[in-house]
Structure 1
């Protein structure tokens, strides 16, 4: 047992304190206090926007105004009726339910439902999966 006890742990408490104020800060404080005791007029200057986010928010208000002035209406592209009918017809020909078709292409049944109802925003990857699963060409000429 010659090697036992060679390594010991030091369990002495370590105290970490905040950094003490620098000499320059103490000196400034002493000068101000001495001037106050002497009755001198002390002027304090408040820095504009010190400790606030006002500078950052002023640029945001410009962006918000630009957005408010923007009048263009954006309409998202929806599934065309030909595509809806082609998906439905292909699914019916294979005698699949929406849930079975969704499982075949690793999507949620809700996705198939949205495509067949025309509410979905067309995604080329999903359309490609549907083409392979149904064996029907869904893309190409409009």
Structure 2
């Protein structure tokens, strides 16, 4: 089958519009309007601070005095200096870089760096992995 006529293009504009309100929304609006016209009981409720956090920050809670009176300093436990020094010494003795040690214990190099700088929160599993790879006891007595 061959086409022998001239090639034609459709230059009609295409108009894209927003969706019309759904049937359920129209129905709800219709029901409220009908109830208002007939004098039926229509109860409206004003929601204050709906969908915002304004009310949460401005309201004074019962525990604010307790929080103000709190004197205990709460902080995460950090790696001890003994553990840091032992880790650095053992790693240097094995002639490993931080990246190589991290690869052997299946952790990111940043983890080893944080342990050596003392910023890490001690994780016993990671410490035991490092002890196993380095062949030394990092915690407690040698």
TM-score (norm 2): 0.60
Structure 2 segments unaligned to the other structure (5+ residues)? 1-21
- Output the aligned Cα RMSD: 3.2
**2:63 matches 1:51:** no
Query: What aligned pairs does 1:1-142 form with structure 2 within 5 A after superposition?
Result: 16=23, 17-19=26-28, 20-21=31-32, 25=36, 26-28=38-40, 50-53=46-49, 57=56, 61-141=61-141
Q: Distance in 2 between matches of 1:72 and 1:53?
A: 35
Q: Distance in 2 between matches of 1:72 and 1:112?
A: 30
Q: Distance in 1 between matches of 2:127 and 2:119?
A: 14
Q: Distance in 1 between matches of 2:87 and 2:123?
A: 14
Structure 1 segments unaligned to the other structure (5+ residues)? 1-14, 30-46
Matched residue pairs, number? 109
